[in-house]
Amino acid sequence: MAVGTRATVPGMTTRDLHEAGCQVLVGNTYHLMLRPGIEAFRRVGGIHRFMNWPCPVLTDSGGYQIFSSPGQRRVTEKGAHFVSYTDSRKHMLTPERSIEVQSAIGSDIMMVLDECVDSRADTSIVRAAMERTHRWALRSLAARENAEQALFAIVQGGIDQNLRRESAAFLTNHPFDGFALGGLAVGDTRTQREEITAMAAELLPATRPRYLMGVGTPPDLLLAVAAGMDMFDCILPTNFAWQGTAFTSTGRVRIKRGECREADVTLDAACGCSTCQNHTRSYLHHLFQCREPLGPRLLGVHNLYHYNTLMAEARLAIELGEYARFARTKIDEIDRHEHGDKALSDT
């Protein structure tokens, strides 16, 4: 799912997103309640009309964003108190308020408000946050009024497998429409994420969507699919595009490097996106050297197309009963092209 935090995927039109194969967008309750505010969504009839996006939208509850600004927030049993980054006004986001905002936004999938802490924190801290997340999840469920808007619970517990089991057991006893794994990629390593994902996925009902939040690189996704996860979102495709990095079938390409200056070849010969069909690496390099916004936009289109194509190939491999071979081949190709690139492998 492409991340459109503020009702926009950075630098892209909804037409760009359609052409890149995007099916679902992820918005963020925390940001959207501050700007443009829920009255704007009520006035126009929801986020789909507001941004001219006819396909599904999932809204995160805003728990992670509150966690990310520790100097500006205070969490109590009632909810999270924080100061707006837009106008310095004080707000409180409770489970009930989060559902009210998401209902006004009109998202197809809502997330319960959760308390997110560093996955490496002491067990007592992780447990307290997990138990509060459970209580908030039930309050969120009670606050939902429109059954047409799905509501997902979020399994917490850091990197403690016993806590993850306890969280999954509690939440799956309640009538949520789907279940997510939260609190990963928050201080943990790739190996720890893989272990927790593989263990926790088995605890969630296969009849409900299983959503791995905030992850990740192509190998992360392939391994998580093998574990049984169904849905993913991550800022990497667009964030890396703005930094000048493209994900390709032959590994990552840093378009700002000098070697691309005279590379009059397509970005990825195996790719069918509009960027690869119409522009060369040398032209993309030129755009970044000139700091032209078109450069990140073209790379963003390509990266999202690359991710969506990878997921389409994964679905086909599952249907054909060949997923294990497919995933191993893909991961081996990536490792071969990017061997020794430790920086991203531990992202």
| Active site positions, annotated | 60, 233
Categorise residue 276: left if φ over 0, alpha if ψ from -120 to 50, beta otherwise. alpha
- What is the rounded CA–CA span in Å between residue 266 and residue 241? 16
- What is the rounded CA–CA span in Å between residue 10 and residue 167? 34
- What is the rounded CA–CA span in Å between residue 319 and residue 244? 35
Q: Which residues contact 158 (CB under 8 A, 6 or more apart)?
A: 117, 118, 119, 120, 121, 123, 126, 130, 164, 183, 188
178 phi and psi, to 5 degrees?
Answer: -165, 170
29 phi and psi, to 5 degrees?
Answer: -60, -45
Strands (E), 244-289: 245-248, 251-254
Are the CB atoms for 216 and 184 separated by under 8 Å?
Answer: no
Q: Which amino acid is at 312?
A: A
**How far, in Å, are 133, 135, 226, 314, 318 from residue 324 at the CA level?**
35, 38, 7, 10, 8
Categorise residue 21: left if φ over 0, alpha if ψ from -120 to 50, beta otherwise. left
Quick one: tokens of 246?
A: 């493209």
